[in-house]
């Protein structure tokens, strides 16, 4: 297949051989990397998206709360790079070319891929910061010297240096003295801290890999041999992305991480290289001494600083972006739409404001969903009641876009209160979406009187209050039973 990326010097060609390896034929090295980016997007877009979520501390938004600890860890150590500037590099032109090819594929998508639909996510374009974050994230699961130091430090402090010093390369007299000086805090270190970086790995658990080279003087062919064995498990899709790049003056073949424009292992006509996890000493491990709100440094005590990081929960990150974009588009296209005059305040983080925009004088709540249950933007029943009873509003519109069933519905909430959950407490309500969509007719006139709305809200309040009281009583009884059994 021949491709032309907007920024490309000339068209390039991508050919897949009989075992599925892509070969990029281009006129320039930059165009070859544009082809590499395009082919990576074509084959591994979801894998790239997910890997960037890991690196940027955003896995929870895709995979749920079990990744909160890992996301917090990545953000605390600035793996996403948001606490520092992105320095210039001699390889920026290659990385930019790769991104141009990758993002060209993203922009060419005519529909959301199935993996994204299943996760409730939307494809996005990638940046240089994504590549940098991927590099830093790789160091966490490849270069594990800090975890080795942590475990060996505790073992040496507990059982003696001599039993373990031979397992450490270049262990010096200074290292021996340091273990003795830090003996007490080293003995108290809990190795389960490693789970912050590797939440799904048994602790302590170590792996390794190997590589070796044979000089041509010792081989039958007279050519040197290089072997590299990174000990990666078999996965679908593979950890690596194999690809061949060709120009009139340059050839390269190797294995790359999808979404990153470099060959972890590979060769050209002139050189071959490999990479393994060699446990090289590339991290310094510090035991912090805290005194009140200060910590000890070589130059004295310094004040502990803190910063606030927001980690979005599953299902909110991408939907909210869609809703905000749709709101802006409606406001730009039609003067009858405008931003709300007053913004609803909420003490609960992550709770959306009651309205997104106004249509003339009516509140409009925009919602995008894919196989979601409930309407999280409607959980303010008390506010709905007060605004309606005070004649501040007489309608509250919901614009719902359901990607799974390709449905767009625009309706007045007050006319469909009988499709709400009533077991969430008297101050909250959610739309029973599946039941609502089964019976909702977009063309039907649902106009009902003000008194009908008030009576419906009174009934919902009665049922919701009764349900809440019963639940509280049931919980109280359960607690009482537990306490009685403990006597």
44 close to 258: Cβ distance less than 8 angstroms? yes
Measured distance CA(147)–CA(159) in Å, rounded? 18
259 close to 102: Cβ distance less than 8 angstroms? yes
Measured distance CA(432)–CA(413) in Å, rounded? 12
Of 370, 382, 375, 374, nearest to 356 by C-alpha is 375
User: What token pair was written down for 91?
Assistant: 């390889």
Please tell me the predicted confidence (pLDDT) of residue 346.
Answer: 47
Other Cβ atoms less than 10 A from the Cβ of 232: the count is: 14
Please tell me the predicted confidence (pLDDT) of residue 377.
Answer: 46
Q: What is the pLDDT of residues 143-194, one digit of tens each?
A: 667 778 888 899 999 999 998 888 787 888 999 999 999 999 999 988 877 7
Q: How many helices (H) and strands (E) does the chain have?
A: 13, 17
Of 322, 358, 319, nearest to 338 by C-alpha is 358
Buried b (16+ CB within 10 A) or exposed e, 129-143: ebbbbbeebbebebb
Please tell me the predicted confidence (pLDDT) of residue 369.
Answer: 66
What is the pLDDT averaged over residues 62-89? Answer: 86
167 close to 152: Cβ distance less than 8 angstroms? yes
Which of the pair, 106 or 195, is modelled with greater confidence? 106
Which of the pair, 126 or 389, is modelled with greater confidence? 126
Q: Name the helix (H) or strand (E) containing 222.
A: none
Report the DSSP pairing between strands 396-402 and 362-369.
parallel
What is the pLDDT averaged over residues 193-214? Answer: 70
Measured distance CA(187)–CA(91) in Å, rounded? 45
Please tell me the predicted confidence (pLDDT) of residue 94.
Answer: 96
Measured distance CA(341)–CA(360) in Å, rounded? 11
Please tell me the predicted confidence (pLDDT) of residue 1.
Answer: 64
What is the pLDDT averaged over residues 433-460? Answer: 85
Of 260, 263, 281, 284, nearest to 272 by C-alpha is 263
Other Cβ atoms less than 10 A from the Cβ of 351: the count is: 14
Find the helix packing angle between 68-76 and 29-55, rounded to 10°: 120
What is the number of alpha carbons within 13 Å of residue 117 lying toward its C-beta?
10
User: What token pair was written down for 171?
Assistant: 């262990």
Measured distance CA(245)–CA(39) in Å, rounded? 11
Q: Name the helix (H) or strand (E) containing 95.
A: helix 92-108
Please tell me the predicted confidence (pLDDT) of residue 70.
Answer: 84
Split at pLDDT 50, 70, 90, the class of 132 is: very high
Q: What is the pLDDT of residues 94-123, one digit of tens each?
A: 999 999 999 999 999 888 888 887 777 888
Q: What is the pLDDT of residues 254-312, one digit of tens each?
A: 999 999 999 989 999 999 999 876 666 777 888 888 888 999 888 999 999 888 887 77
DSSP 136-150: HHHHHHH--HHHHHH
* CATH (one of 1.10.443.10, 1.10.1270.20, 1.10.240.10, 1.10.439.10) for 2-142+211-273: 1.10.439.10
Triad 390, 392, 396: Cα angle to 5°: 115
Question: By three-state DSSP, how is residue 304 classified?
Answer: coil
Give residue 78's region: left, alpha or beta (phi > 0; psi -120 to 50). left
Q: What is the pLDDT of residues 334-369, one digit of tens each?
A: 888 888 765 545 444 444 455 778 888 778 887 776
Q: CA of 249: how far to CAs of 9, 11, 28, 71, in Å?
A: 16, 17, 9, 44
| Predicted model pTM | 0.66
373 close to 434: Cβ distance less than 8 angstroms? yes
- State the average pLDDT for the chain: 84
30 close to 24: Cβ distance less than 8 angstroms? no
DSSP 420-479: B--SS-TT---B-HHHHHHH--TTS-----HHHHHHHHHHHHHHHHHHHHHHHHHHHHHH
Beta-carbon contacts of residue 473 (< 8 Å; ≥ 6 apart): none
Triad 430, 434, 436: Cα angle to 5°: 70
What is the pLDDT averaged over residues 424-430? Answer: 72
Please tell me the predicted confidence (pLDDT) of residue 348.
Answer: 44
Q: What is the pLDDT of residues 363-420, one digit of tens each?
A: 888 777 655 555 544 557 787 888 888 888 888 888 887 766 677 888 888 888 888 8
333 pLDDT above the threshold of 90: no
Q: Where are the domains of the chain?
A: 2-142+211-273, 145-205+281-302, 317-478
């Amino acid at each position: 297949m021949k491709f032309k990326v907007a920024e490309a010097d000339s068209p390039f060609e991508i050919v897949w051989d009989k075992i599925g390896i892509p070969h990029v034929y281009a006129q320039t090295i930059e165009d070859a990397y544009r082809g590499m980016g395009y082919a990576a997007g074509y084959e591994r877009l979801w894998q790239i998206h997910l890997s960037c979520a890991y690196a940027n501390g955003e896995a929870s938004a895709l995979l749920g709360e079990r990744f909160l600890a890992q996301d917090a860890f990545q953000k605390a150590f600035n793996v996403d790079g948001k606490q520092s500037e992105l320095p210039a590099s001699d390889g920026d032109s290659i990385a930019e070319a790769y991104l141009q090819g990758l993002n060209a594929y993203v922009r060419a998508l005519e529909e959301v891929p199935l993996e994204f639909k299943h996760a409730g996510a939307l494809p996005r374009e990638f940046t240089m910061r994504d590549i940098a974050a991927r590099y830093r994230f790789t160091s966490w699961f490849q270069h594990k010297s800090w975890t080795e130091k942590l475990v060996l430090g505790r073992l040496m402090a507990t059982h003696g240096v001599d039993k373990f010093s031979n397992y450490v390369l270049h262990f010096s007299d200074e290292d021996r003295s340091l273990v003795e000086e830090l003996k007490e805090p080293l003995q108290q270190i809990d190795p389960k801290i490693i789970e912050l970086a590797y939440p799904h790995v048994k602790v302590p658990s170590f792996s390794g890999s190997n590589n070796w080279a044979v000089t041509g003087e010792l081989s039958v062919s007279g050519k040197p041999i290089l072997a590299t064995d990174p000990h990666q498990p078999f996965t679908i899709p593979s950890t690596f992305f194999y690809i061949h790049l060709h120009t009139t003056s340059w050839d390269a073949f190797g294995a790359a991480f999808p979404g990153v424009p470099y060959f972890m292992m590979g060769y050209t006509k002139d050189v071959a290289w490999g990479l393994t996890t060699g446990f090289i000493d590339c991290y310094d491990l510090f035991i912090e001494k805290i005194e009140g709100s200060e910590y000890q440094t070589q130059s004295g005590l310094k004040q502990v600083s803190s910063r606030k990081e927001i980690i979005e929960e599953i299902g909110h990150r991408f939907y909210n972006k869609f809703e905000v974009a749709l709101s802006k588009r409606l406001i730009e296209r039609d003067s009858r739409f405008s931003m709300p005059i007053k913004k609803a305040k909420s003490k609960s983080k992550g709770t959306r404001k009651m309205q997104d925009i106004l249509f003339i004088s009516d509140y409009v709540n925009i919602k995008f969903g894919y196989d979601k249950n409930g309407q999280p933007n409607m959980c303010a029943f008390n506010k709905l009641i007060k605004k309606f009873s005070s004649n501040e509003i007489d309608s509250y519109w919901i614009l719902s876009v359901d990607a799974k069933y390709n449905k767009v519905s625009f309706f007045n909430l007050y006319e469909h209160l009988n499709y709400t959950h009533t077991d969430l407490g008297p101050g909250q309500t959610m739309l029973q979406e599946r039941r609502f969509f089964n019976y909702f007719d977009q063309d039907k006139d649902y106009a009902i009187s003000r008194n009908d709305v008030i009576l419906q809200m009174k009934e919902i309040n009665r049922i919701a209050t009764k349900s809440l009281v019963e639940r509280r009583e049931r919980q109280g009884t359960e607690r009482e039973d537990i306490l009685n059994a403990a006597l």
